[in-house]
Amino acid sequence: MRLFLSDENLVVQGRAFKGFPLLVHKDGTAVEPAQSFLWDVLTANGRAQSPLTWAKYGRDIYDYFAFLDANGLDWQATPDRGMPSIVDWYRDWSKGEIGLDSVTINARLRLVARFYRWAQQMDLIRQLPFRYQVVRVSRTPGFLAHLDASSNMVALPRAMLSQKSALIKFLTMDQVLVCLGVLSNITHRLMFELMVRCGLRQIECRTFPVRYLCDPTKRRDLVPGQMIRLPLSERDMKLKYDKPRAIDVPYDLMEDLWWYAARHRKSRQQAAGAGATSSCLFLTQNGTPYGDTALTDIFADLERRVGFRVRPHMLRHTYGTYTLWKLRKVGFEGEPLLYVRDRMGHSSVSTTSIYLHLINQLGAQLVLQWEDEIDALFGRET
């Protein structure tokens, strides 16, 4: 059993579905009904989701069916009364054998539960292999929270694990300093800075286009210390949900990126050979764009060298927390939460508010020290 992501040759009704997950048996046949479920759920209502969502759903449903296949289990099997279901076995295997955390396991279980509800609607099974329980959940109030008549009561599969509400993971200033100290590769260092100072996702960093750069020293409308607004478009780079937004790039970082493009990137592109072109700012030593797992591998190596956890998304959390604190402290003319939401490309301000909760829990003294040091580190004023 294998999982593949399709190329541009997968075309349905004139539309190419590059990156769509394909679950295939050893004999080349599709893994059904998992494949049909992925197609239905990811193209529901005629609206295809982001390729990032495709890959995530594909990996998660593949993981479940690969578990069943390896253990000779039938996905349609219903448990005897009082006995654990195959979903329970999958949960316990994920926790005990693989060592996944509860958040990851529960995310996969939600998709598995969705698969079984779909199978029931398609008359593929008579009953679900698990039961639901109604629980109260803690939610961040949104703009329409007063319309929530359910009192935050939701139905969840009983197979779900309990999970504590944990603080989001971000880098302290000491950790940022250590990382920068060992990032001798100029390309990796600038990728690190672009994510931690502008809140880019790793896929956005990998596909960030060179055409967005300018030499700020040659622009009369720009002065040192200024933030440079850059509109991001799905026509130029990969954005989650293809949702355009704008980021603010510090003057000194733009200057560093400009000189990187003029010197290091040029030599890397030449390594790809005559006629090879790429719109991406960051290129490998072979002159090619970084692949889907490249930054994960780079950060895994960085993690081993520094001795603490460093993941690409932690840089985005670092940006969100720091920026929100800074704006609140200086009396930003506007709503800080909305500013950070728009810079990070969140669909809802409720997502952005996790950084507000983090700030409140950290305590002012710790965040103030972190803020002063990050300003000194990057040598800028805002």
What are 178-211's pLDDT values in tens digits?
A: 898 899 999 999 999 999 999 999 999 999 999 9
Q: What pLDDT band is residue 144 in, cutting at 50, 70 and 90? A: very low
Better-scored residue on pLDDT, 165 or 265: 265
66-80, 210-224, 363-377 — most confident range: 210-224
Q: What pLDDT band is residue 70 in, cutting at 50, 70 and 90? A: very high
Q: What pLDDT band is residue 45 in, cutting at 50, 70 and 90? A: low
Distance from C-alpha of 244 to C-alpha of 5, rounded to nearest angstrom: 25
Please name each of the domains of the chain with its CATH number.
2-131 (no CATH), 173-378 (1.10.443.10)
So what's the pLDDT on residue 362? 65
Q: What pLDDT band is residue 270 in, cutting at 50, 70 and 90? A: confident
What are 87-137's pLDDT values in tens digits?
A: 989 999 998 888 888 888 888 998 999 999 999 999 999 888 877 665 555
So what's the pLDDT on residue 238? 92
Better-scored residue on pLDDT, 331 or 78: 78
Q: What is the torsional sign of CA 172, 174, 175, 180? A: positive
- Chain Cα centroid distance, residue 227: 25
Distance from C-alpha of 190 to C-alpha of 31, rounded to nearest angstrom: 42
61: phi then psi, degrees, rounded to nearest 5: -75, -30
Q: Is the pLDDT of residue 147 over 50?
A: no
Q: Within a 13 Å sphere around the CA of 309, how many CA atoms are in the beta-carbon half? A: 6
Give buried/exposed letters for 43-66 (b at 16+ CB in 10 A, else e).
beeeeeebbbebbbbbebbbbbbe
So what's the pLDDT on residue 199? 95
User: Do residues 340 and 323 touch, judged by C-beta distance below 8 A?
Assistant: yes
**H or E segment at 154?**
strand 153-157
The CA–CA distances, whole Å, from 129 to 5, 54, 209, 289 equal 29, 25, 48, 45
